[in-house]
Amino acid sequence: MFSAPYDKPLPRQGDPRKFAQQGAQMSGYLPVEKLNRIRGLLREDQAQARVDLTFGISEEGKLVVEGQAEADLVFTCQRCLGPVTLPVEASIELAMVRSEEEGKRLPRTLDPWLLPDDGNTDLYRMVEEELLLSLPTVAYHEEACIDEQLLSSGDPVEPKPAENPFQVLKQLKGSPKK
């Protein structure tokens, strides 16, 4: 099912600061059933997230990790209550910090990753956090999945059948780009 780099699991434990000093790169899959917070929001948890991470040192001398995580996740459609598979993509750009104060001083493009001074950290937790931030606010089928007549007799605030939740989100954020 997966292309070559994703045929092995992403390491779960490691010292991110060490990885950054080594310029480590890692790719792998991550079983979604190991992500308890996301799991509870899904209809089925038998999915794999594909993850790419590149650790390094930024121009400002910050220890950073960049990469992405993506997964096709099965939610319950809030309109027809059937299963709906939605692609979820998180772009990861984090700087390792020792305190929230340090996090506040980061350049705007970097989000803080609060870590102890050294030692092993659960990388899956970081990936889960980033995926959680990228979940759709509401899961719907893109196509009309229930009878429109049922809809029009129902709740008037119900979105139109063809409405795409991602589109709505874009409008709310007011970003006309792309």
- Select from 15-23, 39-47, 53-61, 135-143 the region that touches Zn ion (CB under 5 A): 135-143
Q: For residue 50, what is the enclosing H or E element?
A: strand 48-57
161 with 146: CB under 8 angstroms? yes
The DSSP annotation for 81-129 comes to -SEEEEEEEEEEEEEEESSHHHHHTS-TT-EEEE--SSS-EEHHHHHHH
Under rule CB under 5 A, residue 17 binds Zn ion: no
Q: Is the dihedral of CA 9, 115, 111, 138 positive or negative?
A: positive
Task: Determine which residue in the list 26, 35, 38, 77 makes contact with Zn ion, applying CB under 5 A.
Answer: 77
Task: Determine which residue in the list 17, 50, 62, 79 makes contact with Zn ion, applying CB under 5 A.
Answer: 79
At its nearest, how many Å lie between Zn ion and the CB of residue 170?
A: 21
Task: Determine which residue in the list 24, 80, 132, 151 makes contact with Zn ion, applying CB under 5 A.
Answer: 80
How do strand 48-57 and strand 63-76 relate by DSSP bridges? antiparallel
- Select from 13-21, 68-76, 99-107, 143-151 the region that touches Zn ion (CB under 5 A): 143-151
- Select from 15-23, 32-40, 79-87, 91-99 the region that touches Zn ion (CB under 5 A): 79-87
Under rule CB under 5 A, residue 145 binds Zn ion: yes
Cα separation values, 110 from 5, 47, 51, 95, 159, Å? 26, 28, 19, 6, 35
Distance CA 13, CA 90 (A): 20
Under rule CB under 5 A, residue 139 binds Zn ion: no
At its nearest, how many Å lie between Zn ion and the CB of residue 150?
A: 12
CB closer to Zn ion, 41 vs 145:
145
Distance CA 22, CA 55 (A): 8
- Select from 9-17, 42-50, 137-145, 147-155 the region that touches Zn ion (CB under 5 A): 137-145
Distance CA 11, CA 62 (A): 23
At its nearest, how many Å lie between Zn ion and the CB of residue 141?
A: 4
**Which parts of this chain interact with Zn ion (CB under 5 A)?**
77, 79-80, 141, 145
